[in-house]
Amino acid sequence: MLIFILLKADTPANCVQDMFLGTWSVHISSEIFRPKNDQVTCPDKFNTSEQFEFILLERGVAISSQGNVRSGRWSPDANQGFEVRFGGRVFFFFSDYDEHNVSHCRRTKVGYVHDDGLLNQKFRCAYANNTKPTVSEMKPLLSAYEDPEGHNLWVGSPLPKNFTLRNVNGKSYLPKVFNQENCGSCYAAASTQAMMSRVMVASNLSSPLGQTEFLSVQHIVDCSIYSQGCHGGFGEQVSKFSEDFGILTVDDYSPYMSAKGECKPKNQNGKRYHFTGQNYLGGYFGADNTVESMQWELYRYGAFPVSVYVDSQKHENGTSFSDFKSCKRTTAFAGAKPVIPNFPELTPQQVIDKDGRHYYIKKTNHLVLLTGWGSDDEGDYWEIMNSWGDGWCDNGFIRVQRGTNSYNVESAPIVFYWAGDNVQPPTENKQFYVSQGAFNTLIAFCVIFGVAVICLVVVLIFKLKSKKQYQQPQLIDI
């Protein structure tokens, strides 16, 4: 029996990319928090010791608010929050929302700050506020940065007409098809499948990963502080978890349970796989990716996750979730086109904020794996691996129309790259770190101890004087 579970939910926040643009004031904790069992827990309230500002601009550019040339990169975490890489540090925030699930896109929940790089063991907690949303006069700032859109570097031999990682000169560069079952873990399944494929390509099948060893989806479902277990998440969150903590194999964590459990690795010191450079293909969210750029990425580095919109509602013309479930190559819409009757939620979505500004987004709700392309009697297609088991469609694969953004498949491809086998934790200065609470307690103890010592000295001096007076010989008149 096949059970079809989509990415059911994530956080209630729903913030569009342009809502993040502007000047952000960030407040960072004085206390350092260290991971325990691959998790970091921030308190709701904490003392801050640092505050600074950066400006988020279009095309993924982040700059200092001080007017100097320091720049970085930023990317929305789908519609949930954003990540900024700036000044040698990484900032990750979820957008704020209240008990009524109303989004507050100009402020964040408590987030995380750490040094840029792999295997960081020192996190600080932080929160941020958008104090000056972007206005038109700020856009010329982009001109100070060289071509943030990048260049088309795809040159060389022409691409083959048909290509699939299922069969490259008689060899497969894909792991076996996964079944997410009754758990909204498509984000973890598609991402780990892509990671294994990329290791298989990078190692030319010399690594056991994807062949006899497999990344643990359960490790992400149970432990990732960046996603919501069986209630959903996004591919970029999985890549960030792999960068910060590394992903264990099934043997070192546990087999898939189709439910969120306690974060408790079987072998905490087992081999971990790290991936870095995560971003949307094209360098930023909303980049105009060409079909050719997606093909070259796949051809050179291996499979990668793509988001699709799988409709679960019945419409007037009878088209429904069964389009994808029934392995149809396309549905009655192409997500890149304007408003389509009976499919309003599948067109670029209009969002109006409280100031009357309009934003447009393309809706997706399921993450799958792009594994190849080709052309046949029905036209050009993408080959996609799903996470609904090998009993679905063509042994777990589907062909989707290529070049028309069918199911929104070409709207938000995600890429990342294997960091290799020799990842070592950063060298740490041998410093003694004390939390703010412990520091305050220590100060209080020192004050009390100091007062006690002073009192003791006074008492001893008094006793010594008294003793001398008692022992002084008395004069006798003769």
Q: What are the tens digits of pLDDT across the range 197-225?
A: 999 999 999 999 999 999 999 999 999 99
Residue 300 has pLDDT above 90, yes or no: yes
- Which pLDDT score is estimated for 147? 42
Which helix (H) or strand (E) segment is 23 a member of?
strand 22-29
pTM across the whole model: 0.72
The single residue listed with the structure tokens 């007409």 is 161
Name the packing angle between helices 186-202 and 235-244 (round to 10°): 60
- Residue range 223-229: mean pLDDT, rounded: 92
Query: Is residue 442 predicted with pLDDT exceeding 90?
Result: no
Q: Of the given ranges (158-162, 286-290, 337-341), which has the lowest mean pLDDT? A: 337-341
C-alpha–C-alpha distance, residues 261 and 179, integer Å = 18
Question: Rounded CA gap, 409 and 271, in Å?
Answer: 33
Of 469 and 346, which is predicted with more confidence? 469
Cα 127 from chain centre: 17
215 neighbors 222 (Cβ within 8 angstroms): no
Question: Position of tokens 């010191």?
Answer: 269
Tokens 């799903």: give the residue: 386
Most confident of 17-26, 170-179, 221-230: 170-179
CA dist., res. 412 & res. 83, Å (int): 16
Most confident stretch, 82-91, 368-377, 430-439, 452-461: 368-377
Q: Where do we find the tokens 């929104």?
A: 408
Q: How confident is the model at residue 423 (pLDDT cuts 50, 70, 90)?
A: low
The single-letter code of the amino acid at 384 is I
CB 227 within 8 A of CB 237: yes
Amino acid at the residue 401:
Q
Q: Residue 211, Cβ neighbours under 10 Å: how many?
A: 15
* Residue among 396, 400, 392 at smallest CA distance from 376: 400
Q: Report CA-CA distances (Å) from 349 to 252, 335, 336, 394, 436.
A: 43, 10, 11, 32, 46
Q: How far apart are the first and last CA of the chain?
A: 123
State phi, psi for 112 to the nearest 5 degrees. -125, 145
16-21: average pLDDT: 82
CB atoms within 10 A of CB 343: 20
Instruction: Give the model's pLDDT for residue 67.
Output: 62
Q: Which of 58, 97, 80, 74 is nearest to 26 (CA)?
A: 74
Mean pLDDT, residues 126-136 taken together:
81
E strands along 89-162, which residues? Answer: 89-97, 103-108, 111-115, 124-133
Question: Strand, coil or helix: what is 351?
Answer: strand
pLDDT value, residue 266: 93
Find residue 398's DSSP bridge partners.
384
Residue 26's nearest CA partner among 1, 4, 56, 5 is: 56
Q: Summarize the confidence of residues 321-330 as an average pLDDT.
A: 76
* Residues whose CB falls within 8 Å of the CB of residue 431, separated by 6 or more in sequence, listed in order: none
pLDDT for residue 141: 46
Checking if the pLDDT of 433 tops 50, the result is no
Identify whether the C-beta of residue 382 lies closer than 8 Å to the C-beta of residue 304: no
Torsion of CA 175, 180, 181, 186, to 10 degrees: -140
Q: What is the pLDDT of residue 441?
A: 64
More confident residue, 12 or 401: 401
The continuous run of DSSP H or E covering 279 comes out as: strand 275-280
